[in-house]
Amino acid sequence: MKLLVMAKSVLSNLFSRPVTERYPFVEKKYFVGTRGKVLIEIDKCIFCGLCQRKCPTAAIVVTKEQKGWEIDRLRCVSCNACVEICPKKCLVLDTKYAACSEKRYKDVFHA
Amino acid sequence: MSKRTIIPFGPQHPVLPEPIHLDLVLEDEKVVEAIPSIGFIHRGLEKLVEKKDFQEYTYVAERICGICSFIHGLTYCMAVEELMKIEVPERAQYLRTIWSELSRIHSHLLWLGLTADGFGFESLFMESWKIREYILDIIEETTGGRVIFGSAKVGGVRRDIAPAKLEEIVKKLRVYQKKINDLGMVFLDDTTVKHRTQGVGILTTENAKALGAVGPMLRASGVAMDIRMMGYAAYGKIGFAPIVETEGDCYSRCKVRIRELAQSIDIIEKCVQQMKEGVIEAKVTGFPNGEFFARSEQPRGEVIYYAKANGTKFLQRLRVRTPTFANITPLLEILKGCQLADVPILVLTIDPCISCAER
């Protein structure tokens, strides 16, 4: 009969610091490759619309005439498809996630 | 015969992370029959294959399950690759194996935690999930996502891992293995835990075969059956032997999963040793045509993807048979004759993933 098998872990946990981070008081450090939100350098964009066509959730809308690029942050699943297809490499995935929100909102960019 | 009562179990129940409903027919405290009903979270993901093209559907396939997401995506890709006769590069095969095993480790640790919580051992639950968090960090570092890897792709993988990083991962995993061993010891040696698991819910070898159990549920009943033996991805090259236990009770199922944790770490280490530099994706041209059954081993058991295509960019039909669905029938068998207080732990022991089962 074995009791107190967990005593070793309990003792080591008792004398060590918490493994959890005190977010939001301590800023969360993301990894280099974390897929966060999509950022665009709108000056480089040629409004070809490839990102819109490749987006699996139809989060991106590109309007060539108005030179506009908009993204629905709640629809975007950060899959990286738009970043991979972009011919001008003006899209990039940030390591930080998009801000949370109660309502759908769009980030609109104009050249 | 004493009076029979029917007690509803679920769809909302403290031990259930996802909704399944069981009508338990009781005689006093003993369960004599369980009648399941599922369908609370059907999302129609199989139908979506007609709207999303075959490459986009990889994202949907990954979202069928939140825990074994990578292996869902991988099996879907395997089905489409076979239809299109694509040869996947060797390095991609190894990377797929590494990610599959990482996902198995995190899934088994999640299950251990939930089980500990199920029998009321809170600190063991925290300990399991603490270790799981380290594994999730490795996954996030290599794929960019914590549970949705997003790295499977028709024709290969989307990201590479640098050799130095791979060595670092193996080193880290060796450290975590010690923690996992300590954790496993509590599950396998502690008297209070053994009271809840030993001799409870015995599934005999005959029943396991006849009722079509899969995964750890089947292997704990003494059947050496694991789809990894077929050698998909890189499993054929590294040599794989399944882990088998013979008692068929909750304790054996727990033991199979704990031993598989160590095995997964060994597999990752072997992969890293054997991997060579190379390309990670093959060029995909044309559209899939024909039909194919792809099979792979998830943490919960065998998953089957049936894909039928007609040479257009949309697949005609996709059918997914998930391990939880296959394990519901054996669950009903082991519930017969058990005590009411053992029901939660028996339901957890099949590692239920209901979103998976209903798609």
pLDDT for A1: 62
At B202-245, the pLDDT tens digits run 889 999 999 989 989 899 998 998 888 888 888 888 888 899 98
Q: How confident is the model at residue B171 (pLDDT cuts 50, 70, 90)?
A: very high
B177 to each of A68, A82, B161, B180, B184, how far by Cα in Å?
A: 51, 38, 21, 5, 10
Q: How confident is the model at residue B132 (pLDDT cuts 50, 70, 90)?
A: very high
Asked whether A30 and A72 are in contact (CB, 8 A), the reply is no
- CA A39 to chain B, closest CA, distance in angstroms equals 16
Which helix (H) or strand (E) segment is B292 a member of? strand B289-298
pTM of the model: 0.90
ipTM: 0.85
At B172-183, the pLDDT tens digits run 999 999 889 888
pLDDT for B138: 92
pLDDT for B1: 64
Give the three-class secondary structure for A18: coil
Q: Quote the tokens at residue A9.
A: 């872990």
A99 forms beta bridges with none
Nearest to B216 by CA among B257, B267, B250, B251: B257
pLDDT for B195: 85
- The residue of chain A with its CA nearest to that of B143 is A33
Give the three-class secondary structure for B350: coil
Amino acid at B284: V
At B63-106, the pLDDT tens digits run 888 888 899 999 999 999 989 888 899 899 999 999 999 999 99
Nearest to B40 by CA among B66, B69, B12, B68: B12
pLDDT for B306: 93
Domain extent listing, chain B: 4-358
Overall CATH class of domain A29-110: alpha beta
Give B137's contacts in chain A (Cβ within 8 Å).
Answer: 31
Which helix (H) or strand (E) segment is B35 a member of? strand B30-37
Q: How far apart are CA B202 and CA B187, in angstroms?
A: 18
Task: For strands B21-27 and B152-153, give the pairing.
Answer: unpaired
Nearest to B100 by CA among B240, B288, B281: B240
Q: How far apart are CA B153 and CA B191, in angstroms?
A: 46
pLDDT in tens, chain A (111 residues): 676 777 888 888 889 888 888 888 988 888 888 888 898 888 888 888 888 888 888 899 998 888 888 999 888 888 888 898 888 888 888 888 888 888 888 888 887
Q: Quote the tokens at residue A45.
A: 């964009």
Q: CB A9 to CB B148 under 8 A? A: no
- The residue of chain A with its CA nearest to that of B130 is A19
At B239-262, the pLDDT tens digits run 888 999 888 898 999 999 999 999
Q: CB B137 to CB A80 under 8 A? A: no
* Chains A, B: CB pairs < 8 Å: 58
Nearest neighbour of B185 by CB, restricted to A5, A10, A84: A5
Q: What is the DSSP string of B117-160?
A: HHTT-HHHHHHHHHHHHHHHHHHHHHHS-SS----EETTEES--
pLDDT for A110: 80
Which helix (H) or strand (E) segment is B293 a member of? strand B289-298
Domain extent listing, chain A: 29-110
Q: Can you list the alpha helix ranges (DSSP code H) found in A3-44?
A: 7-14
Q: Quote the tokens at residue B59.
A: 């994202």
Domain B4-358 adopts which CATH fold?
Cytochrome-c3 Hydrogenase; chain B (1.10.645)
Residue of A12, A14, A32, A35 to mutate for B, most B C-beta atoms under 10 A: A35
pLDDT for B135: 92
pLDDT for B296: 92
Asked whether B254 and B109 are in contact (CB, 8 A), the reply is no
Q: Can you list the alpha helix ranges (DSSP code H) found in chain B?
A: 57-62, 69-84, 90-118, 122-143, 163-189, 191-197, 205-210, 216-219, 235-238, 250-274, 323-335, 343-349, 354-358
Q: How confident is the model at residue B44 (pLDDT cuts 50, 70, 90)?
A: confident
Q: CB B192 to CB A19 under 8 A? A: no
Q: CB B59 to CB A77 under 8 A? A: yes
Neighbours of A41 (CB within 10 A): 12
Q: CB A6 to CB B127 under 8 A? A: yes
Asked whether B181 and B175 are in contact (CB, 8 A), the reply is no
